[in-house]
Amino acid sequence: MHSNTEAARALYARTRQEKFALGAFNIDNLETLLAIARAAAAKKSPVLVEVSKDEAKLIGLHNLRCIVDNYKTEFDIEMYINLDHSPSVEDAKAGIDAGFEFIHIDVSQANHDDTEAEIIAATKEVVEYAKKTGAMVESEPHYFGGGSNVFKEAMDYEVVKKTFTKPKEAFKFIETTGIDTFAVAVGNLHGLYPVPKQLDLDLLAAIREEVPGYLSLHGGSGTPDDQFRGAVERGVSKININSEMRRAFRTTLETQLKANPDQFAVIKLMGPVLDAIQAVVEHKMDVFGSAGKTQG
CA 12 vs CA 18, 80, 185, 221: distances in Å: 10, 11, 20, 22
d(CA 180, CA 96): 15
d(CA 21, CA 1): 24
Among the listed residues 234, 243, 225, 227, the one whose alpha carbon sits nearest the alpha carbon of residue 285: 225
Among the listed residues 15, 3, 8, 5, the one whose alpha carbon sits nearest the alpha carbon of residue 236: 15
CA 58 vs CA 28, 29, 49, 170, 250: distances in Å: 8, 9, 15, 34, 18
Backbone torsions φ then ψ of 49, nearest 5 degrees: -110, 150
d(CA 188, CA 161): 10
List Cβ neighbours of 32 (8 Å cut-off, separation of 6 or more). Answer: 25, 26, 245, 249, 277
Question: Active-site residue among 28, 54, 76, 84?
Answer: 84
Q: Report the chain's terminal Cα–Cα distance, integer Å.
A: 21
CA 100 vs CA 68, 77, 95, 179, 219: distances in Å: 10, 16, 6, 16, 21
Residue type, 32: T
Mark whether 226 is an active-site residue.
no
Is the CB of residue 228 less than 8 Å from the CB of residue 72? no
CA-only gyration radius of the chain, Å: 18
Active centre residues (catalytic): 84
